[in-house]
Amino acid sequence: MRNHIMNANSKAVRRAVGAGIIGAALVGAVAMIAANPAFAADEKKKNTVSKELAKTLKEASDAVNGKKYNDALAKLKDAEANPKKTPYDEHIINELAGVAYAKTNNYPEASKAFEAEINDGFLDEKEIPGRVKIVAQVNYQLKNYDKAIEYGNRAIKGGYADDEMKTLVGQSYYLKGDYKGTLKYYDTMIDNQIKAGQTPKDEPMQLALSACVKLNDSECTTRELERLVEYHPKTEYWQQLLYSLRSTPNLSDKSTLQVYRLMSEVDVLKEATDYTEMAQLAIEQGNPGEAQRILEKGFQKNVFADARAKDKNTRLLESAKKAAQTDLATLPRVEKDADASATGDKNVGVGLAYIGYQQYDKATDQLNKALTKGSVRNEAEAHLLLGIAQLKSGKKDDAVKSFKAVKGDPNLERLAELWSLHAKQA
């Protein structure tokens, strides 16, 4: 199941992390710096370059503007070596060097220069966001994920991070292998979006899911899958979630059949073996009508590809048909007996049989009788079956109420929540 989820999400993960290149935003920011160097005196702060370095830095600035970046770097190295340089001289050196290094694709040195410029106290506040973004992007490209996270989070806390920057931070956590950090980051982002009444995007949710899988945390995996299904009810997410639930350790046969019912309902029952197992479980639990219906659905979808599987399930279908004929013939008598019973268990059985034969109004009537009588051995199952019958007969609101009444069995409670979610999406 772990590999199934990872394979299903790998394209989305690759698509998300593929954003980490030195892109148009960086090129544009560097061009803006180059076109407007801070070489001239800053009138507001009364800062200007020293007389000792004025000529050298002017030549370096002209070289940057003339796109002679190697010449500029040579001049800047001379300036850096001058023992009389002032802190403001250093600021100008870093600004011009950052541009020149970036333009010559020396991104490690460009990052160092821009980072020093950001933190030296001379940079105008309105220019800080652009520089921070550059440093975060460059370090992401260089796989210096800690530094990318540091500056990406700085942008987030400063309130000037766009969606691209927020994505870069989450991807950095993921790519450095900090899956707990990835999960915390994306869960916080997703929770905030939900609280704000927004629909969270599916790619961050997929990365949160992948982090759960990497952590080998089954509860976390299920939680993230459920949230994906809630906000992005794609077939692939339902499939991942329900196959995960079906693989729950020590799941009873009754609960397994309930999982299969929802899988069939949302049309994510794919494997031939699943159709066979569901039919066998239905027969074993006294519901040949359901077994017949699911096998016929399997044949309609051509899931029994090889001759062996086709032959096996043909025999199983014939057996289910015969049992269903006998069951249908005796059902009116069994219904009378159930109605006369003091307890509701027999009515539950009749209601389940009617669900198998797709007679949902009769199923609803029998299950309501069962719950009204009380003394039902598995009340949670009865409420779940009632909700299914109501939903299939078009009574969505009643179905949701019945699903909410499922209590006492953790597996059935979870299934009821998913049926309720499906009912709201249907």
Is residue 384 a contact partner of residue 396, using CB atoms and an 8 Å limit? no
The answer to whether the beta carbons of residues 248 and 281 sit under 8 Å apart is no
Tens place of pLDDT per residue across the chain (426 aa): 455 454 445 554 444 444 444 444 455 555 555 555 555 444 445 578 899 999 999 999 999 989 999 999 999 999 999 999 999 999 999 999 999 999 999 999 999 999 999 999 998 899 899 999 999 999 999 999 999 999 999 999 999 999 999 999 999 999 999 999 999 999 999 999 999 999 999 999 999 999 999 999 988 998 999 999 999 999 999 999 999 889 888 899 999 999 999 999 999 999 999 999 999 999 999 999 999 999 999 999 999 999 999 999 999 999 999 999 999 999 999 999 999 999 999 999 999 999 999 999 999 999 999 999 988 999 999 999 999 999 999 999 999 999 999 999 999 999 999 999 999 998
Helix (H, G, I), strand (E, B) or coil at 69: helix
- List Cα–Cα distances, 224 to 28, 99, 176, 206, 290, in angstroms: 37, 43, 21, 8, 31
Helix 307-340 / helix 360-373 crossing angle, nearest 10 deg: 50
Rounded Cα distance, 377 and 189, in Å: 44
Q: Is residue 156 in some structural domain?
A: no
Residue 47 lies in a domain: no
Q: Residue 281 domain-assigned?
A: yes
| Residue 182 forms part of a structural domain | no
Instruction: Copy the structure tokens of residue 421.
Output: 């979610």
Asked whether residue 117 is assigned to any structural domain, the reply reads no
In a domain, 229, yes or no: no
Quote the pLDDT of residue 248.
85
What does the block give as tokens for 113?
């220069």
Could you tell me if residue 327 is inside a domain?
Answer: yes
Tokens of 320: 């289910």
Cβ-based burial of 164 (10 A; exposed 0-12, middle 13-18, buried ≥19): middle
pLDDT of residue 18: 42
Half-sphere CA count of 369, side-chain side, radius 13 A:
24
Predicted confidence at residue 28, as pLDDT, reads 53
How many helices (H) and strands (E) the chain has is answered by 22, 0
pLDDT score, position 374? 82
Owning domain of residue 349? 248-425
CATH number at residue 316: 1.25.40.10
Residue 85 near residue 79, CB atoms below 8 Å: yes
The reported pLDDT for the residue numbered 15 is: 45
> How many domains are there within the chain?
1
The answer as to whether 418 is a domain residue is: yes
109-132: string of b/e by CB count within 10 Å (b at 16+)? ebbbbbbbbbeeebbeeebbbbbb
Q: What's CA 355's distance to the chain center, in Å? A: 34
Q: Other CB atoms closer than 10 Å to residue 30's CB: what's the count?
A: 21
Quick check: 14 and 257 in contact, CB under 8 A? no
How many angstroms separate the CA atoms of 81 and 93, rounded? 11
DSSP conformation class of 125: G
pTM of the model: 0.78
pLDDT of residue 209: 95
pLDDT given for residue 34 in this prediction: 52
Angle at 59 between CA 56 and CA 65, to 5 degrees: 145
